[in-house]
Every structure is written in structure tokens, then in C-alpha cells.
């Protein structure tokens, strides 16, 4: 069971949340000059690392707000939670699992 | 090692069981192969087998980081079926069911494919409408599925609570009679033994760490924990670790890896002689030949490489089983595990060329790879040997993620799979 530290509500059980996948994805612009390959990459391609993953979560059963989680996909250890508009924390010291 | 037969069992019995050898050789890799398959699960071994058997390409190595069949092939719930929605999927999965039907004879190894039938129960008017839509679609595409009423389901699945007061009342459902479980280890060992006897080298405890390319970017070899090995072509057939291997080769994939849990109970007397699947809860259950109830349900919906399930989903799956089959509620759980599955957006596989010339892949099966082992192997072997995708594999190329020609089984079948 994950204990997720919502930046708004504090630590809560994982059943209150759902994961929205990889975070920090930027929509390609301008839209009328984006190739099919780039759209496909934006919509479907993901880093999917075995190690530190920066991902979005929503606190469905709490504040219902989105935020970011840095989590190790091999151990499930949560390394940081931070607000949607904050930059990625530097976790290079944690390394890739 | 010789063919297996009833006569052989008899003569070995008379000789004190002294003539059985290992089913496949334990080898050190050669410096060069025509084709290197990365991943010794069902799909990888089947690819090697069909390369040798159908295309005469025998200078082939299967490199496995752990032991063969120790990944998802040893972690699934062994159901083989083809009740998918879209015509491209039915062509693919029904090819696999048909290959499974002949597999024991083909491999000279009993894979125990038991076509006991799969019954999918509907638990509301909306479930029934969805079931009708699925069944009519499958029938139009030539698949032998049929609707069932509540009385027939109650007779075929006595353990399922079909009473009016059930937590999930049964309204009806549908059935594929040719579906059923096969023995997962036997599929792996059968393909390994048959491929080995055709000259394929199976190398266990050999982890692929990188890929070597020439100046044009074409693949010329792989880097492994046992040293560099040269090859003309290579194929990545590693399910949940496809993204990691793809990254090692220099490209990303439209894949997210999730943990999928499975459960088995203590062995009990025969009580369930079909595969039973519930539309409302997404859980399914069958009874193994040893007597254990084997069941599973939804994915743990956050990316994971941990090979263990989380408690909330486990709780949900076990709770649904106990509600649907009240008499199973007191059976004790024996084991619980998870495999790492490679999920793509449309829940359909990728079988064909990767962005790197000479490097191929077979991945994206998500939660449903076991049923497709013979087809995945046959189709990738065709592409490796001829340079062209097999007509059945043509819709399942990587380029569909930018052409938009998705085969959206995630929405089509309306069930987790």
C-alpha cells in the first residue's frame, strides 16, 4: 500500500488517488505544423523507465487536485511529491534503479 | 533425446528410466548467429522454433536474462481464447487458438490445452447489451461465440451465484466453446525442446545490455553479460521490459509497464470445469488440473516493474470472487504474484520492425500474451525470415501510432485483458 503525500492534504492511502501517467509532457506547437510522427509521439510514446518516474496523480477522494509524484517504478518508493506547476526535483543522486 | 511416446515410456520403464536426457542443451553462445532473439519466454522460443521449422533458419540463439519461462509466461493465468472484437484481432488470436489445438502433436510435447469453454457472465441490462453487441460483432467476423441464458450458465457454472438476490445477479452471458487453459510451463519447455532439436541455441542467464550497430545504424550484434555476440538480425521479445531494451537500442516505444496480479488457492476437488469470466467485475477464474482455483482481474494502474501486486487491487479481485462464487469465499489462498505487462494505448500487440534497421520486436500484448504465443512466434518468424510482415501481422505494425490506424481492443472488448 502506498502512502502518498498530497501537497494539499498531506499523507493519504493510495486508494484515494489515481495515477495519470507520465508528467511534464509538452503539447507540440504550433498545431498546424506538427507532423503525424510528432503527434503520435506526443499522444502515445512514453519513457516508461525502470527507476525514477515523474508522474501525475489526482487526489480523487480528497481535494480532487492534480499534482506530481517522483516514484521509483522498481521499488514503488515515493521520492518526492510536488505541485503541478513546479519543476522536476533533481533526483539524480537517487539514480536509476 | 528422442521422441516422446507411450512406447518410449514403456521401454524406459523396463530400462530403469536411464535413457532420458535433458530436454534441451545447455550451451555457451557462439560468436555469431543469423538471428538473435532477446527473451526466452513463450513468444521468443516460439519465434526461434518457427524460424527453424518453417523457414530453415537454424543458426539462431535465444538469449534469456533469467531462466526460460521465468517471466510472464510463468506468471499468467494460462487462458487461451480468441473472443476479440475487431476482424484484425480475431484473425490474429484465432490463428493462435488453431495452432494451440495442434501444438502437442506439433511439438511432440503435451501442452495440456483443455478446450473446456469460457463463459462470460453479464450482470445487468447494460452488461447484456454490451454482450449482445460483442457477440454479434464477433459472429459477423466469423467467430463461433454464442449467447447463453441464465439457466444454461447456472447449469454450466454451479459455483456461480445465479440467485435473484446475488450481489452480482446473472442476467445471461456468452460463451466461446473452443477456449480454455493450457499448461504454461509445458508450452515453454515444448517450444524449447523442439527448437533445440532443430539446432537453436538456448542461452539462459545471459542478459542483453546493449546493441551494436554499423555506421549506417543497422544492427550488427548484441552486448551481453557473456560478451558481445554478432548477428544479422535481432528481435526484442521481452514483454514488460520492452521500453528498457528499446532505450538500449536507441528508441522509445508507446508502452507503459504495469503489474498484473494473479492468484491461486489451495487445491480442492473438481468444482469448476469451465473458465468463468464476469463482465461487471472483470475477474475470471478457472480450476487447474491440480485442483487450485486460478484467478485474476484488473491491472495495478500505475507504472511498475516490481513483479508484485498491490493490496487494494488484490482486495478488489478477491472480494469480487467471493461475491460471485460464495462457496469459494472460505478457500485459502496458496500463492499470489504479479507479472510486468507491456500495455499500449489500443491494447493490441506490435509485431514487426523497430526503428532500428535489422532489429525487430514482438511486444505490446499487455495482459493477454500467453494466448498468442504460437501466433506471435509464427508471425515474427515470418517477418524475420522473409523481410515482409505476414498479412495477419500487417495491421499490428509500430507505425499505427502515427497513422492513427489503431485496433482499439481496449474499447472494443469492453473488458480488462
Q: What is the residue-wise DSSP string for A44-70?
A: H-B---SSEEEEEEE-TTTT--EEEEE
**Predicted local confidence at residue B321, as pLDDT:** 97
Residue of B65, B246, B305, B313 to mutate when probing chain A, most A C-beta within 10 A: B305
Helix (H) or strand (E) holding B129: helix B125-140
- Grouping H, G, I as helix, E, B as strand and the rest as coil, residue B297 is strand
Going A39 to A43 to A45 to A51, the CA torsion angle's sign is: positive
- The two beta strands, B293-300 and B172-176, are unpaired
Strands, DSSP E only, in B237-372?
255-265, 275-278, 284-287, 293-300, 333-344, 350-353, 359-363
Count of CB atoms situated within 10 Å of the CB of B199? 13
Chain B positions touching A76 (Cβ under 8 A) are 304, 306
Q: Count CB pairs under 8 A between chains A and B.
A: 71
Confidence band of A97 (pLDDT split at 50, 70, 90): very low
pLDDT beyond 80 at A93: no
Q: CA-to-CA distance for B62 and B41, rounded, in angstroms?
A: 9
Q: Which of A40, A44, A48 has the CB atom closest to B303's CB atom?
A: A48
> Distance from A77 to chain B by nearest Cα, in Å?
11
- Any CB–CB contact under 8 A between B307 and chain A? no
- The interface predicted TM-score (ipTM) is 0.94
Q: Which among B247, B210, B232, B246 is positioned nearest to B350, based on CA atoms?
A: B246
Chain A positions touching B397 (Cβ under 8 A) are none
Q: CA-to-CA distance for B77 and B181, rounded, in angstroms?
A: 8
Q: Which among B320, B390, B321 is positioned nearest to B353, based on CA atoms?
A: B390
pLDDT beyond 50 at A89: yes
**Predicted local confidence at residue B417, as pLDDT:** 46
Contact B401 A2 (CB under 8 A): no
Q: Which of B303, B310, B401 has the CB atom closest to A73's CB atom?
A: B303
Stated pTM of the model: 0.95
Question: Tens digit of pLDDT per residue, chain B (417 long)?
Answer: 689 999 999 999 999 999 999 999 999 999 999 999 999 999 999 999 999 999 999 999 999 999 999 999 999 999 999 999 999 999 999 999 999 999 999 999 999 999 999 999 999 999 999 999 999 999 999 999 999 999 999 999 999 999 999 999 999 999 999 999 999 999 999 999 999 999 999 999 999 999 999 999 999 999 999 999 999 999 999 999 999 999 999 999 999 999 999 999 999 999 999 999 999 999 999 999 999 999 999 999 999 999 889 999 999 999 999 999 999 999 999 999 999 999 999 999 999 999 999 999 999 999 999 999 999 999 999 999 999 999 999 999 999 999 999 999 876 554 554
Q: Which among A60, A57, A77 is positioned nearest to A69, based on CA atoms?
A: A57
Strands, DSSP E only, in B23-96?
32-38, 60-63, 79-80
- CA torsion B184→B186→B190→B193, rounded to 10°? 110
Spatial CB neighbours of B56, under 8 Å, sequence gap ≥ 6 = none
**Predicted local confidence at residue B236, as pLDDT:** 98
Contact A1 B302 (CB under 8 A): no
Q: Chain A residue with minimal CA distance to B301?
A: A19
**Predicted local confidence at residue B413, as pLDDT:** 57
CB B375 within 8 A of CB B95: yes
- Any CB–CB contact under 8 A between A66 and chain B? no
Count of CB atoms situated within 10 Å of the CB of B24? 22
> Distance from B112 to chain A by nearest Cα, in Å?
34
Q: CATH says A3-94 is which class?
A: alpha beta
Task: Give the domain ranges of chain A.
Answer: 3-94
Chain B positions touching A41 (Cβ under 8 A) are 252, 402
- The two beta strands, B201-203 and B208-213, are unpaired
- Any CB–CB contact under 8 A between B255 and chain A? yes
pLDDT in tens, A9-63: 999 999 999 999 999 999 999 999 999 999 999 999 999 999 999 999 999 999 9
> Distance from B344 to chain A by nearest Cα, in Å?
8
CA distances, B340 to each of A7, A11, A35, B146, B264 (Å)? 29, 27, 32, 33, 18
Q: Which of A14, A36, A55 has the CB atom closest to B303's CB atom?
A: A55
Count of CB atoms situated within 10 Å of the CB of A51? 17
Contact B302 A19 (CB under 8 A): yes
Chain B positions touching A21 (Cβ under 8 A) are 256, 303
Contact A48 B241 (CB under 8 A): no
**Predicted local confidence at residue A90, as pLDDT:** 83
Amino acid at each position: 500500500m502506498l502512502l502518498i503525500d498530497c501537497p494539499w492534504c498531506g499523507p493519504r492511502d493510495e486508494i484515494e488517488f489515481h495515477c495519470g501517467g507520465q508528467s511534464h509532457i509538452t503539447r507540440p506547437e504550433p498545431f498546424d505544423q506538427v507532423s503525424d510522427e510528432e503527434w503520435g509521439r506526443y499522444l502515445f510514446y512514453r519513457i516508461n523507465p525502470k527507476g525514477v518516474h515523474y508522474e501525475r496523480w489526482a487526489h480523487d477522494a480528497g481535494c480532487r487536485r492534480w499534482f506530481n509524484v517522483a516514484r521509483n517504478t522498481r521499488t514503488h518508493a515515493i521520492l518526492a511529491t510536488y505541485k503541478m506547476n513546479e519543476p522536476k526535483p533533481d533526483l539524480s543522486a537517487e539514480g536509476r534503479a | 533425446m528422442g521422441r516422446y511416446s507411450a512406447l518410449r515410456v514403456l521401454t524406459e520403464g523396463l530400462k530403469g528410466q536411464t535413457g532420458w536426457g535433458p530436454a534441451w542443451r545447455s550451451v555457451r553462445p557462439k560468436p555469431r548467429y543469423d538471428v538473435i532473439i532477446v527473451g526466452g519466454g513463450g513468444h521468443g522460443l516460439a519465434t526461434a522454433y518457427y524460424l527453424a521449422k518453417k523457414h530453415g533458419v537454424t543458426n539462431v540463439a535465444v538469449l534469456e536474462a533469467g531462466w526460460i519461462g521465468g517471466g510472464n509466461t510463468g506468471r499468467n493465468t494460462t487462458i487461451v481464447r480468441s473472443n476479440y472484437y475487431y476482424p484484425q484481432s480475431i484473425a490474429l488470436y484465432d490463428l493462435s487458438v488453431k495452432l494451440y489445438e495442434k501444438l502437442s502433436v506439433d511439438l511432440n510435447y503435451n501442452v495440456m490445452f483443455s478446450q473446456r469453454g469460457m463463459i462470460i457472465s453479464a450482470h445487468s441490462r447494460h452488461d447484456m447489451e454490451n454482450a449482445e453487441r460483442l457477440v454479434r460483432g464477433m459472429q459477423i467476423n466469423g467467430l463461433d461465440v454464442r449467447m447463453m441464458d441464465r439457466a444454461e450458465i447456472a447449469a454450466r457454472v454451479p459455483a456461480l451465484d445465479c440467485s435473484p438476490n446475488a450481489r452480482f445477479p446473472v442476467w445471461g452471458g456468452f460463451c466461446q466453446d473452443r477456449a480454455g487453459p493450457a499448461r504454461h510451463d509445458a508450452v515453454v519447455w515444448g517450444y524449447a525442446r523442439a527448437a533445440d532439436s532443430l539446432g537453436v541455441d538456448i542461452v539462459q542467464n545471459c542478459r542483453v545490455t546493449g546493441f551494436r550497430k554499423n555506421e549506417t545504424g543497422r544492427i550488427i550484434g548484441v552486448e551481453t553479460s557473456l560478451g558481445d555476440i554478432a548477428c544479422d538480425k535481432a528481435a526484442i521479445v521481452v514483454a514488460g521490459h520492452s521500453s528498457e531494451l528499446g532505450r538500449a537500442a536507441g528508441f522509445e516505444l508507446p508502452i507503459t509497464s504495469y503489474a498484473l496480479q494473479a492468484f491461486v488457492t489451495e487445491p480442492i476437488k473438481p468444482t469448476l470445469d469451465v473458465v468463468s469470466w464476469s463482465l461487471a467485475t472483470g475477474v475470471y477464474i478457472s480450476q487447474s488440473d491440480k485442483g487450485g482455483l486460478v484467478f485474476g482481474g484488473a491491472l495495478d494502474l500505475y507504472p511498475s516493474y516490481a513483479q508484485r501486486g498491490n493490496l487494494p487491487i488484490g482486495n478488489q479481485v478477491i472480494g469480487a470472487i467471493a461475491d460471485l462464487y460464495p462457496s469459494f469465499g472460505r478457500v485459502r489462498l496458496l500463492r499470489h504474484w504479479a507479472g510486468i505487462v507491456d500495455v499500449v494505448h489500443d491494447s493490441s500487440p506490435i509485431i514487426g520492425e523497430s526503428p532500428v534497421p535489422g532489429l525487430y520486436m514482438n511486444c505490446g500484448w499487455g495482459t493477454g500474451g500467453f494466448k498468442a504465443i504460437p501466433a506471435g512466434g509464427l508471425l515474427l518468424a515470418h517477418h524475420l525470415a522473409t523481410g515482409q510482415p505476414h498479412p495477419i501481422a500487417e495491421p499490428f505494425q509500430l507505425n499505427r501510432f502515427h497513422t492513427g490506424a489503431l485496433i482499439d481492443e481496449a474499447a472494443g472488448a469492453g473488458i480488462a485483458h
